[in-house]
Amino acid sequence: MILNDRQIAGLCLKEDGMITPFIPSKISFIESNGWELFPKAKMVISYGCSHFGYDIRLSKKDFRVFSHKMNYTVVDPKIQGDYFEQKECSEYGNSVMIPPHSYALGVSLEQLNIPPNILGLCTGKSTYARCGVIVNITPLEPGWRGHLTIEISNANPLPVIIYLEEGICQVLFFRGDTPSQLYEGKYQNQLEEVVQAKV
6 three-class SS: helix
Does the pLDDT value for residue 96 go beyond 60? yes
- Topology of 57-175 in CATH? Deoxyuridine 5'-Triphosphate Nucleotidohydrolase; Chain A (2.70.40)
89 band by pLDDT with thresholds 50, 70 and 90: low
Judged by average pLDDT, the poorest of 28-37, 64-73, 123-132, 187-196 is 28-37
Average pLDDT across the chain, whole number: 88
CB count in 10 Å sphere of residue 20: 12
Residue 167: pLDDT band (50, 70, 90) is: very high
Instruction: Kindly state the average pLDDT of the residues 29-47.
Output: 71
Q: Quick one: pLDDT at residue 101? A: 93
Extents of the domains making up the chain: 57-175
Of the candidates 97, 98, 113, 94, the one whose C-alpha atom is nearest the C-alpha of residue 14 is 113
End-to-end CA separation in angstroms for the chain? 32
How far CA 46 is from CA of 23, 25, 111, in Å, comes to 11, 10, 18
Please indicate whether residue 141 is annotated as part of the active site: no
Please report the pLDDT score of residue 66 as a whole number: 82
Q: What are phi and psi of 14, to 5 degrees?
A: -90, 165
> By percentage, how much of the chain surpasses pLDDT 90?
66
The predicted pLDDT at position 35 comes to 53
Which has more pLDDT, 137 or 112?
A: 112
- For the whole prediction, is pTM greater than 0.75? yes
> Which of 15, 88, 141, 151 is flagged as catalytic?
151
DSSP state of 126: H
When computed from its CA atoms, the radius of gyration of the chain, rounded to whole angstroms, is: 17
